[in-house]
Structure 1
């Protein structure tokens, strides 16, 4: 049986004080209302003891909507996230909302701190690319009745709305394309990650090579944020040791950028010696010689679905949270590298 949520009314009744008094203390207005330190301490101690969490619905009704939505990405400077951010900004503005942008750098500590800060500012909702180990924080947000939508990846243990793409299917199609173009020794370059989108891309690669019977290689690299040097050296060494690799599937475009540099340094000709496919298309891939085959995510559609979902949650705030799960198709853009 679900544990009953503690309300302000319950706290007031248990301590023998008025609901108004409890409300003033919770909202930091005790001194302004001349409530004694003794009463304030008694209420705060009890709140901590029973684990009370204020309802966002109640706050919204009391203070009004802030008309602000938080957009929390892994790295806002990354072209994928910045493009979605730009589309979302336009759609939010048309609906009377403003967006606050921030980057987590895939750091759970930073993500928790940012979410805590924005909760106190009574923002209307959160669009989040979740970091590892953020499940409890997302559950808390939902329990406090904040509208939340995840994107790029989802959390299997949390029944939360999300907008994602067909990662496994697209990775299978990209790998299958390499094999059909004659690749006998494909390599999959990815990140050390338990995140759903990376697991799905790895699964798609593995299923394609198992189905074809070729022998594949895999390399998983640590996540690098913008302030750190990229994995060029690790990729250079990997390709140096495995000269029989004749096809590469890069799980993200920034890994492809580093990998293409490494292959060029080794004098490996694309596509004669090595054929290349990357997840996350980028304008750079159309400028590179030869042009790089890549999987394009539907950025504008992702943005539309994110805004549509978060605005629906905000409008239905008093009806309770019902999750929406949206999965969108990608497009394989075949170019000269294959």
Structure 2
């Protein structure tokens, strides 16, 4: 085994053949170039003995393909994004691609840096859950005819392929469920965000209340990685507003933090306040009582995302079509919303 990392030139010099011949053999083009089987075996045997590993970046420059897909999500440790990534990775690997993951933390500057990093690595395709503020960067990828699929959220002003759920319909149905079971003072706790999915969730909540002439009670919380900075404003909100009989949380992260805040204040669910959270989480089934949640079709989202991207990767540049998919969610009824109140309008 040699100590220094060998190059194709080193291999060619050691075997006294041309570097072009070595390159053709290592890139699987020996038959095309009518290189003898004997020479192919000689090169491959030497490569195995010295442990030669080709420079992937250099190879991508030669072939135009890295067989790598860049996946950017809000937080890879979040169960929703982690499960999406797992399904995407499995499908990608079966189709000859590897995945590079990273978390944007909803930070536009960080996301811009990550996009540039992926460009430098010559990744073949991009899957992105984009924060607000990177519209121009996504537009530049699309303009350069690079395969891009957005998911979870998108930019209405930008023509892009995406996979999302019907967020407005999801929160409308959840709020309507509360109303149909007699709840009148329904709060909505959400992140302060201009992202399309968060705005649509708020719109669905407000639409249901407006149809029944009920007042809205919205608390917007700044996004933080540290749960304590989410729990504190929710606690303060609940302390100042003691008349709520139901709460809809805009994400599972808010749901978990909100339940901790409620526990700290001695608020019992569903006896004191009924609860529904967006984004189901296996943790919700472990609560007592278990938590009603809006479940996104994770496997279906991931399948659509990677199917669209793989189709783009197989389609010649200039011929790729927009593919935009909106999926339905499921309201999973559990114990946290099971106490019926007198129906709205009844005495």
TM range (shorter): 0.7 to 0.9
Partners of 2:229 and 2:148 lie apart in 1 by 32
Write out per-residue CA displacement over residues 47-91 of structure 1, whole angstroms, 9 at most, x where no aligned residue. xxxxxxxxxxxx979533211101100110100000000111111
Query: Could you tell me how far 1:237 is from its partner in structure 2?
Result: 1.1
Q: Is the 8 A contact 1:145 1:317 kept in 2?
A: no
Query: Could you tell me how far 1:293 is from its partner in structure 2?
Result: 0.3
Q: Which residue of 1 aligns with 2:196?
A: 196
Q: Tell me whether 1:207 sits opposite 2:207 in the alignment.
A: yes
- CA pair 327-124 structure 1, distance change in 2 beyond 3 A: same
Query: Could you tell me how far 1:171 is from its partner in structure 2?
Result: 0.4
TM-score by length of structure 2 reads 0.78
Partners of 1:180 and 1:291 lie apart in 2 by 20
Partners of 1:222 and 1:299 lie apart in 2 by 25
Query: Could you tell me how far 1:273 is from its partner in structure 2?
Result: 1.1
Write out per-residue CA displacement over residues 90-139 of structure 1, whole angstroms, 9 at most, x where no aligned residue. 11111111110000111111111111111111110000011111110001
Q: Is the 8 A contact 2:145 2:317 kept in 1?
A: no
Query: Could you tell me how far 1:150 is from its partner in structure 2?
Result: 0.2
Q: Which residue of 2 aligns with 1:174?
A: 174
Partners of 2:148 and 2:173 lie apart in 1 by 31
Superposed, 1:226-245 pairs within 5 Å as 227=226, 229-245=228-244
Instruction: Give secondary structure in 2 for the equivalent of 1:70.
Output: strand
Q: Which residue of 1 aligns with 2:266?
A: 267
Query: Could you tell me how far 1:284 is from its partner in structure 2?
Result: 0.5
Instruction: Give secondary structure in 2 for the equivalent of 1:136.
Output: helix
Partners of 1:108 and 1:269 lie apart in 2 by 38
Q: Which residue of 1 aligns with 2:45?
A: none
Partners of 1:312 and 1:167 lie apart in 2 by 26
Instruction: Give secondary structure in 2 for the equivalent of 1:318.
Output: coil
Q: Which residue of 2 aligns with 1:258?
A: 257
Partners of 1:232 and 1:308 lie apart in 2 by 38
Q: Which residue of 1 aligns with 2:305?
A: 306
Q: Tell me whether 1:321 sits opposite 2:320 in the alignment.
A: yes
TM-score by length of structure 1 reads 0.80
Q: Is the 8 A contact 1:159 1:323 kept in 2?
A: yes
Q: Which residue of 1 aligns with 2:185?
A: 185
Query: Could you tell me how far 1:320 is from its partner in structure 2?
Result: 3.0
Instruction: Give secondary structure in 1 for the equivalent of 2:126.
Output: strand
Partners of 1:122 and 1:107 lie apart in 2 by 23
Partners of 2:274 and 2:180 lie apart in 1 by 11
Partners of 1:230 and 1:82 lie apart in 2 by 23
Partners of 1:288 and 1:92 lie apart in 2 by 35
Compute the RMSD of aligned alpha carbons. 1.4
Write out per-residue CA displacement over residues 141-196 of structure 1, whole angstroms, 9 at most, x where no aligned residue. 11111100000001011100000001000000001111112111000000111100
Partners of 1:60 and 1:197 lie apart in 2 by 36
Q: Is the 8 A contact 1:76 1:102 kept in 2?
A: yes
How many residues align? The count is: 279
Partners of 1:95 and 1:336 lie apart in 2 by 42
Q: Which residue of 2 aligns with 1:6?
A: none
Query: Could you tell me how far 1:223 is from its partner in structure 2?
Result: 0.8
Q: Tell me whether 1:276 sits opposite 2:278 in the alignment.
A: no
Which ranges of 4 or more aligned residues in structure 1 deviate by more than 6 Å?
none
Q: Which residue of 1 aligns with 2:49?
A: none
Q: Is the 8 A contact 1:145 1:320 kept in 2?
A: no
Q: Which residue of 2 aligns with 1:148?
A: 148
